[in-house]
Structure formats: C-alpha cells, structure tokens
Amino acid sequence: MPARSKDAPGTPWSRPERPRREQPALSRTQIVAEALAILDSDGIEALSMRKLGARLNAGATSMYTHVANKDELLALIVDEVFGKVLIPSVADTDPTDWRIALAECADSVRETVLRHPWMVSVLGDLGLVYFGPNWMRLSEALLTFLEAAGFTATEANDAMGVLLGYVIGTASVESAWLSTLARHGRNEQGWMDEFLPAVIEATRDFPRLHRLYTTDVDEATEGSRDSGFANGVRLILDGIEANQRARHAS
C-alpha cells in the first residue's frame, strides 16, 4: 500500500497529537472531557473554543494544536459518547441469538443519545463520526453478529444501516421532544393531560387517528415511548429476517 502523503486528509483519531509546552500539559483527552461537560450541562450553544480554553486555563491557540476546528472537536466528543454504548460480547453470543444482540445494541444506542440531547443537532452534520473508533467498534460488532447468523457481508451492512437509521432517527426525535419539554418546565404526563382533549377533538374528521388517540394512547407516556421503540426494532428485525429467508430461498 503506498504511503499516505503528509498533506492527505485523515481523521482526528489517526493524526498524532503535537506536543506542547503548557504547564501543566494539555491533552486531547482533557479537551474532549471538558467540552463534553459543557455540552451536557449547558447545551450546544454554550460550546466555543474560547470558552473551552478558559475552562482549561489555556488559550484558543492551544486548543487548535490538539483539534483542527470545532467540527473536529464535536466529532471526537460524539465518538467518545458512543464509547458508552453497551455491546454484547461477540465471542459469547450464540449466532442464533443475533436478534437479541442487535436489540440490545439498539436499546443502548437510544439510551446514549437520550442522555446527551445536544447530539441531535450535530449527528447529521458530522461525517467524521462514522470513522471514529467507538462507532466502528459498534459497527464491527453488528456486522459480526449478522454474518455469524448467515447474512452475507452486503446483507449485513444493509441490515445494520436500516436498524441504526431507525434508532438514531427515533432517538433524535425523542431527544428534541424531551428537550423542548424541559425548556418549558413541563413533563410528558402533564403535557398529555393538558393537550390530549384538544388532540382528540382535532382528529374527529380522521377516524383512524381519532381511534388511536381515544383508545390506544398509553397514559404512561414514557412507557409508551419505550414500548413503541421496542416494537419498531422488532418490526425491523422481522423484516430483515424475512428478507434474508426470501433471498436465500430463491
């Protein structure tokens, strides 16, 4: 393989840190940890290289020694967060339990995004995230579970993309919704109690929606979100399994 030019593009994980003479020495790990603390406590609008430098008692120039720009910093932080995703042991997972393993990963990814709601505003803009070591660790595990269950590499990749697309999309909508409620000092059940009568009235001319809101709405809204998410994962896995069977039967 030809050597990569020193000017060729790379990822922040593949580029070595340049040493500095700060006292005490500043590291990329410290920068990421402090930036994550700002994001979790104050949200995406609060993060700036200047504010981060002040928190670390370092100048903005020092920040750019370790990360090229704010987008790169955000990619590093998001991958750090994805490092918290719980992944079943590949070695200990029976190939016939691939659905259980994928469902467990899906649950953990969702929970991770919901714990860090600021991620909603950056996930779609950070292509570098998908080259982060923690995201690749998750992807490699999912592909391994699927290939061990008999999926081809292409089938496994397609199945992984559909599942993660659903998980990230659903968790992003949930996270935005919960952030809005928190911003207005509301909770889910309080909102439901207040607005459900108006929603029922508004759907009278739409019989299927009206039936959903009059007979199928779960008053325990958080439990309803959990069960709705689990049902969505089940439907996706049903479809993936059925598609694999059909393709191999033909």
Whole-number Å distance between alpha carbons of 138 and 160: 10
Which domains does the chain carry? 95-249 (1.10.357.10)
Q: For the chain, what percent of residues have pLDDT higher than 70?
A: 89
Alpha helices in 116-220 (DSSP H): 133-148, 153-183, 188-202, 207-215
pLDDT in tens, 130-165: 788 999 999 999 999 999 999 999 999 999 999 999
ω into residue 24 within 30 of 0, thus cis?
A: yes
Is residue 217 classed as helix, strand or coil in its secondary structure? coil
Indicate the pTM of the whole model: 0.84
Shortest CA distance to 55 belongs to which of 39, 67, 78, 69? 39
User: pLDDT class for 1, splitting at 50, 70, 90?
Assistant: very low
For residues 203 and 209, is the Cβ–Cβ distance under 8 A?
yes
Q: Using CA atoms, how far apart are residues 27 and 131, in angstroms rounded to an integer?
A: 21
Which amino acid, 119? M
- For the stretch 79-133, pLDDT in tens is 999 999 999 998 889 999 999 999 999 999 999 999 999 998 888 776 667 788 9
The predicted structure's pLDDT at residue 2? 47
CA distance 232 to 169: 12
**pLDDT band for position 5 (cuts 50, 70, 90):** very low
Instruction: Assess contact for 78 and 119: CB atoms under 8 A.
Output: yes
**Rounded mean pLDDT of the chain?**
87
| Stretch 10-37: mean pLDDT | 78
Residue 237 region by backbone torsions, left for phi larger than 0, else alpha for psi between -120 and 50, else beta: alpha
Percentage of the chain surpassing pLDDT 90?
Answer: 53
Using an 8 Å Cβ cutoff, are 79 and 137 in contact? no
